[in-house]
């Protein structure tokens, strides 16, 4: 479970850095496509932050429920 969390956080950080680099590129250049780059960079950065916050929330939730106490997934009776 932690491996999936680390993968999600790494991909989120990569997406965030790409979004910020698009924003910076759009601010430093002028011409056609610059406004689109700034808008897409902003969207990518915002969605990446929301995704990382969601992943962090669920990993904390699973940690409180005890899913990380053993290497195998814990199956609980929900019935």
79 residues of the chain, pLDDT tens digit each: 678 889 999 999 999 999 999 999 999 999 988 999 999 999 999 999 999 999 999 999 988 887 777 766 656 656 5
What integer pLDDT is reported at residue 79 of this predicted model? 55
> What single string gives the DSSP state of each residue in 12-75?
HHHHHHHHHHHHHHHHH--STTHHHHHHHHHHHHHHHHHHHHHHHHHHHHHHHHTTTSSSSPPP
What integer pLDDT is reported at residue 69 of this predicted model? 75
């Amino acid at each position: 479970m932690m491996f999936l969390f680390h993968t999600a956080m790494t991909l989120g950080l990569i997406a965030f850095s790409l979004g910020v680099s698009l924003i910076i590129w759009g601010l430093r250049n002028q011409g056609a496509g610059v406004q689109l780059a700034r808008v897409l960079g902003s969207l990518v950065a915002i969605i990446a932050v929301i995704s990382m916050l969601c992943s962090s929330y669920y990993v904390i939730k699973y940690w409180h429920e005890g899913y990380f106490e053993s290497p195998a997934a814990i199956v609980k009776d929900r019935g």
